[in-house]
């Protein structure tokens, strides 16, 4: 799977590049990384509720 077609990454990119997040590129990249982790955590949480746990750590 291509990294750009990953739905979590696309959502994080959308959040990070929203008009409210204008600023230096480094800040936007940091926000994108935070958004990616947040989306990952939400998806992991919903998987745990369903019982389909797939734990992977990407740091």
- Tens of pLDDT along the chain (59 residues)? 345 567 777 777 777 666 665 667 777 778 788 888 888 888 888 777 776 556 666 55
pLDDT of residue 5: 63
**Token digits for 37?**
């982790």
Structural domain spans, the chain = 3-49
The DSSP annotation for 1-51 comes to --GGG-HHHHHHHHHHTSGGG-S-HHHHHHHHHHHHHHHHHHHHHHHHHHT
**Residue listed under structure tokens 């990384």:** 33
Which residues make Cβ contacts (< 8 Å) with residue 2, sequence separation at least 6?
Answer: none
pLDDT of residue 2: 45
pLDDT of residue 47: 77
DSSP state of 22: -
pLDDT of residue 1: 39
């Amino acid at each position: 799977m291509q990294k750009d077609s990953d739905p979590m990454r696309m959502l994080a990119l959308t959040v990070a590049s929203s008009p409210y997040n204008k600023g230096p590129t480094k800040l936007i990249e940091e926000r994108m990384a935070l958004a990616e982790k947040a989306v990952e955590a939400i998806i992991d949480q919903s998987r745990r509720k369903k019982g389909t746990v797939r734990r992977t750590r990407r740091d």
